[in-house]
Structures are given as structure tokens and as C-alpha cells.
Amino acid sequence: MLTLTLFACEATSGLNLFTIEEDIELGQSVLAEIEADPETYPVLSEDQYPEAYAHLDRLRDEVLATGEVTHADEFEWEIYLIDDDDTMNAFAAPGGYIWVYTGLMRFLTSEDVLVGVLGHEIAHADARHSTQLLTRAYGLAYLLDVVLGDDRGTGSELAETILALGFSRDNEAEADSYSVQYLCPTDWAADGASYFFEDLEGVAIPEFLSTHPSSDTRVADIRAEADAMGCNVELSEADYQELLDSLP
């Protein structure tokens, strides 16, 4: 059972009943749930696709090395590939666990866009959005029962809740903003994530975006942030096809 510690985060982050260590524990619980359900989550083996994983790990490491990610040295920051070309999705769990669908990777048009999306997912974990949502979804009384030893609050149950929860509009806007900040010190276009939302025009909106801010708004906001920070917005010449060729 998770042992929760009551504390208040920064005013801008909201109330969160979970410690950094408990974020990692919860992420591990989500990982266990996913590994136990390969039909829903057909995760590719790193042993079988070492080039793809090495490429993604390199992109992740370069973002973490910018010094802009608060919990870069505390969270696990593990990336997993889900073999599903029909799904355009990526999601993050507490503690720095990230899953990316091959369908999303094939939809994206460049490495800059992929890194922008990765930055967005890193931001969800780094800003601890999932455990903030858990605090609100379960309520203080329920989670304090967990603190006092009530067996209703198992890691498995909370992991299932995380997989079902959707981030708020404010969470999404914050993650977009952090993605720009993460990429600004790099050689990638800091507004890389904006191209994903721009390319969604005329495409059936993925279910995970159905309650999010509109794509047009997100494109404008991301590019305005990059402009205000004076970031590079020129797309790099990285060979994205090399990564795609390493997928099944």
C-alpha cells in the first residue's frame, strides 16, 4: 500500500497529497497495469527494437539535460513504444513514465514535432498533473483514509484511475508552455508541438484531445510563447525517417 504524506505544493501547482517518491511508486503501478494487459497495450520490446528505443532515449536525454525540467534527476523518465498504427496518442504517468503510440509517430512530420510532443508529456509528469488530479478526484477525506491505513487506496486502484483520468485544459496549456521552455535551449524548433496541432486540421480529432483546448488556440499560444522567449523556431534537419524505419 502507498503511504501518502500530506503537503501543499506551490500555489501555482495546487494541492497535492503525494510525495515525489509516491509519484514514482504510482508510475510503477501504472507500468505494471500496462504490462499485465498486452492486448490493450502491445508494448514493443526494447530488445527487438533497440534502434527505436535508443533514438527516443537520446531525444529524452537532450531535453532533460537542458536544466529546465524540475525533476530531471528524481524521476525515472522511461519511454515505452506501443505498437498500434491506428492510434495517435501519447501519455505520461507519475514519476516520468511515458508511452508513445507508433500511430502518433507515423502521423508526425519531423523530429522537432516529436520532441515537442515528448516535451509536452514530460511536462505532465514534471508538473505532477496526475497526482494533483488524483487529489481532487478522490477528495481529501478519501486520501486521508489511505494515509491512516484504509486498504481502499491500493496502488493498483490508483493506477487504474490514472489511466482513466483526463488532464484539464489548464494542465494541457501548462504542458504546452513547458514544452516550449524545455526545447528553447536546444537545436530543435521550440514550437515543435504546434505543428502537431496544426496538422490535425481536417483530421478526425483523437479521443484523448476531445476535451482539450482547440488546436488553433494551442498553435497560436505555443508560437506566441516561443516568440516571447526569443527561441529558435527553425525546424532542424534531423532525419526523422531513420526513426520511423526502425519501427515495425
Give the tens place of pLDDT for each residue, 136-166: 877 766 666 655 555 445 667 778 888 888 8
pLDDT tens digits, 42-60: 999 999 999 999 999 999 9
Q: Is 171 helix (H, G, I), strand (E, B) or coil?
A: helix
Label residue 76 exposed, middle or buried (CB < 10 Å: 0-12, 13-18, 19+).
middle
pLDDT classification of 215: cutoffs 50, 70, 90 = confident
Distance CA 105, CA 141 (A): 41
DSSP secondary structure code for residue 209 in this structure: G
pTM, rounded to two decimals? 0.88
Domain ranges of the chain: 7-245
